[in-house]
Copies of this chain bind each other. A is one copy, B any other.
Amino acid sequence: MDIKQTYSISELAKEFDVTTRSIRFYEDQELLRPTRRGQARIFSSKDRVRLKLILRGKRMGFSLAETKELFDLWDETLSGNEKQLLKMLTILENKRAQLEQQKNDIAQAEMEMDTAEARCREALAELQKKKKQQAPAKEEARQTAEN
């Protein structure tokens, strides 16, 4: 049970910091399926969850098509015949492998950022040294000023 049952397009746009254009586009691509009151779209909390998943997918480098595929598959899975269920399981395995790859990539990136940062700090320290040599007289003044 969510806090609210329905949402307007601009409510969702604000909450997730996307444009209404994007949301309409996601509907056009059938990733969201709002109902209508007259012309206006009414989004359910299911739509809200899906929007959240869409955006997370994007951050993880998934295309809208990929995300839609997962949504569709999951819907089919719910009215599950055996084939669909098995297919879903294998796809889940594939996605898990993808996530593993991403975790490796991230770990690698973090390590490299560590060494990059270290080199930066070294270089900075070098510069500081040279400054001191050029103007050692001002040192005490700055020390007291740093409080």
Contacts and interface: CB of A to CB of B under 8 A. Distances in A.
Interface of A: 56, 58-61, 74, 77, 80, 82, 85-86, 88-89, 92, 95-96, 99, 101-103, 105-106, 108-110, 113, 116-117, 119-121, 123-124, 127
A105 B61 contact: no
A105 B74 contact: no
A127 B102 CA distance: 35
Given A74-B116, A82-B127, 7 more contacts: A56-B108, A59-B102, A60-B61, A82-B124, A92-B116, A95-B109, A99-B110
Contacts of A80: 120, 123-124, 127
A113 B95 contact: yes
B103 A117 contact: no
A142 B106 CA distance: 46
Contacts of A105: 56, 59-60
Contact of A61 (B59, B89, B110): B59
A18 to B, nearest CB: 16
Given A113-B96, A123-B80, A59 B101 contact: yes
Contacts of A108: 56
